[in-house]
């Protein structure tokens, strides 16, 4: 049996359309908004870009990792290994992506288990600790990004048709690093807002995005990041400590954005919360 299967599983969608669901919402003792982060704070994380991406697409992807680095105190969040084989087509079991290769995939045959209207998906594997407490969190262990080339066209130069690939990748890299969707008042221009329009181009994190990521990892803006690992932690982050003797919980979380602007959060297939956002046209 694969030793990695009993773990946390999260999908985050850039933008979806579909039918409204009518399930009643019960939260129980599950904190659907528990923060998730790379608790070891060791960067860069090595990612591999699918060999299916052409040179222009590859440049867009690496440009967006540079955008996160340069705006958040020159912190090297990502490094790139050899190009990855394209394994994202005709996938029957999404657990197959827990393969020791954290990849960005160009998916031309969208997996049956994912909504066909999702522009892209970031899948994160990890474990949840301190369940039910104020210090509840998810420790990320693995992540992958899938971009839906079966249904959508993506533009690499902002001069053609399709969704801006850099905008989509910048958003998904935010999820990869642990940022959740941001629907707060005044945050519609955040790169982490859960929808984008086909004419929108956001190629650099805004101040709110930068502060959110710096705060998550205790990065002192204007100071040293401590090389390839982030050593400084804020007082708030000191609560996110892994105790190997503490039971951790296997969990699956799904966040869906529907055509009416309703974002439904599911844990282990059951809806646990919902909020409304205005979709961008």
Q: Is residue 19 part of a domain?
A: yes
- 128 pLDDT higher than 50: yes
- 173 pLDDT higher than 90: yes
Residue 187 belongs to a domain with what CATH number? 3.40.390.10
Per-residue model confidence (pLDDT) at position 52: 97
Q: Is residue 232 part of a domain?
A: yes
Q: Is residue 16 part of a domain?
A: yes
pLDDT above 90 as % of the chain: 27
Domain count within the chain: 1
Task: Output the average pLDDT for the chain.
Answer: 75
What value does the mean pLDDT take over residues 130-150? 86
Burial of 240 (0-12, 13-18, 19+ CB in 10 A): buried
Helices then strands (H, E): number in the chain? Answer: 3, 12
Check if the beta carbon of residue 181 is closer than 8 Å to that of residue 255: yes
- 103 pLDDT higher than 80: yes
Per-residue model confidence (pLDDT) at position 221: 81
Q: Is residue 194 part of a domain?
A: yes
* pTM for this predicted structure: 0.82
Q: Is residue 89 part of a domain?
A: yes
Per-residue model confidence (pLDDT) at position 17: 30
Q: Is residue 1 part of a domain?
A: no
Q: Is residue 281 part of a domain?
A: no
Distance between CA atoms of residues 58 and 64, nearest Å = 10
Higher pLDDT, 7 or 68: 68
What value does the mean pLDDT take over residues 79-96? 89
CA distances from 242 to 129, 147, 154, 239 (A): 7, 32, 40, 9
Per-residue model confidence (pLDDT) at position 45: 96
What value does the mean pLDDT take over residues 132-158? 86
Domain that holds residue 150: 8-276
Write down the H helix ranges in 72-143. none
- 219 pLDDT higher than 50: yes
Q: Is residue 226 part of a domain?
A: yes
């Amino acid at each position: 049996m694969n030793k990695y299967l009993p773990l946390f599983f999260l999908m985050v969608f850039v933008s979806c359309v579909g039918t409204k669901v009518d399930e009643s919402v019960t939260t129980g003792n599950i904190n659907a908004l528990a923060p998730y982060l790379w608790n070891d704070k060791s960067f860069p994380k090595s990612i591999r870009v699918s060999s299916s991406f052409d040179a222009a697409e590859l440049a867009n992807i690496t440009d967006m990792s540079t955008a996160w680095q340069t705006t958040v105190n020159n912190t090297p969040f990502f490094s790139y290994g050899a190009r990855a084989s394209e394994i994202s087509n005709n996938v029957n079991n999404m657990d197959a992506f827990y393969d020791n290769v954290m990849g960005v995939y160009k998916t031309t045959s969208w997996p049956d288990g994912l909504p066909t209207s999702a522009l892209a998906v970031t899948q994160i594997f990890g474990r949840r600790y301190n369940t039910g407490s104020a210090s509840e969190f998810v420790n990320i262990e693995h992540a992958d990004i899938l971009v839906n080339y079966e249904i959508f066209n993506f533009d690499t130069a902002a001069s053609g048709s399709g969704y801006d690939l850099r905008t989509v990748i910048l958003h998904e890299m935010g999820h990869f690093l642990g940022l959740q969707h941001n629907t707060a008042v005044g945050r519609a221009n955040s790169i982490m807002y859960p929808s984008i329009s086909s004419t929108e181009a956001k190629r650099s994190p805004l101040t709110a995005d930068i502060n959110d990521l710096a705060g998550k990892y205790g990065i002192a803006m204007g100071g040293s990041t401590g090389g390839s690992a982030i050593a400084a932690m804020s007082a708030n982050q000191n609560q996110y400590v892994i105790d190997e003797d503490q039971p951790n919980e296997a969990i699956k979380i799904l966040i869906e954005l529907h055509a009416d602007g309703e974002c439904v959060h599911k844990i282990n297939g059951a809806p646990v919360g919902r909020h409304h956002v205005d979709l961008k046209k």
